[in-house]
Amino acid sequence: MEESVILEHPFWDDFVEAYRSAAGKEFDSSALEKFKQLNCRFFPAPLLEMRWQGWEMGIHRPPELFPVKWLETRKLYVCMFLIDFFKRVNGRKLYCDFSAVVERFGKEKVANRISNKTGLHLNLEEVYWTLNIKFNRWIHSNIKLYDCSLVCELDEILTAADGMLREAFFPTPGPFDIGPRKRKKLQRQMLRDFAPTFKKPLIRQIWG
């Protein structure tokens, strides 16, 4: 594939919504096109051809592969995306139909996970897992088509945001689990930074 190709990314509209919300204004088509070129342009061949630990699962590339200014901009966009994510939690605005989550994990497993959750805590579960399913579908499509999981800058932004959410709210059992005390502290920090208006009620719902 030509490196100049601009991908039709499934999260593009979501990303633009986050961008507009952060800026507090609308953007004309020319500005949005430039923004899309920066974030949805197919990565150069050397980045696509390399392999790094966890690439099959959509783990981000080592940061030293990118210029410092690139990483600084990425950090801003990750923050922007997470602020919008928690706005979606507040309004229960899903990234895809929740039936996709049930289809992926099964009715019983989904029911067991969310059965005792209500309010913002339930919204958090539903919004996150629709994000996870939608992004994983894209990752698997990328691997099938291009033999690479993360093929543009928006993919790196998404996997960074997903990783932060997983560590704080959706830990995977194993040696890298930070434990409940550190997890609660991390949750407080994330909500303070990205969703201060409902930090207290959500923490109360999560921890009782």
In the prediction, which pLDDT does 162 show?
96
> pLDDT confidence of 197, banded at 50, 70, 90?
very high
Section 140-158 average pLDDT: 97
**Is residue 164 a contact partner of residue 190, using CB atoms and an 8 Å limit?**
yes
Query: Among 54, 12, 33, which residue's Cα sits nearest to residue 138?
Result: 12
Segment 67-83, tens digit of pLDDT:
999 999 999 999 999 99
Segment 82-128, tens digit of pLDDT:
999 999 999 999 999 999 999 999 999 999 999 889 999 999 999 99
Section 164-183 average pLDDT: 82
Residue 177 has pLDDT above 80, yes or no: no
Residue 163 has pLDDT above 70, yes or no: yes
Segment 34-72, tens digit of pLDDT:
999 999 999 999 999 999 999 999 999 999 999 999 999
Residue type at position 206: I
Average per-residue pLDDT for the chain: 94
Contacts 24+ apart (CB under 8 A), 160-169: 160/60, 160/74, 160/78, 161/78, 161/81, 161/82, 161/85, 162/58, 162/131, 162/132, 162/135, 163/59, 163/60, 164/78, 164/82, 164/190, 165/82, 165/85, 165/128, 165/131, 169/124, 169/128, 169/206
Contacts 24+ apart (CB under 8 A), 170-179: 170/128
Q: And the tokens for 1? A: 């594939």
Tally Cβ neighbours within 10 Å of residue 138: 21
In the prediction, which pLDDT does 3 show?
56
- % of the chain with per-residue pLDDT over 90: 90
Q: And the tokens for 90? A: 């507040």
In the prediction, which pLDDT does 149 show?
97
> How far apart, in Å, are the Cα atoms of 33 and each of 6, 38, 77, 194, 208?
10, 9, 17, 27, 46
* 3-state secondary structure (DSSP) of residue 65: helix
CA 93, distance to chain mean position in Å, is 14
Residue 176 has pLDDT above 70, yes or no: no
Residue 158 has pLDDT above 90, yes or no: yes
Residue 2 has pLDDT above 60, yes or no: no
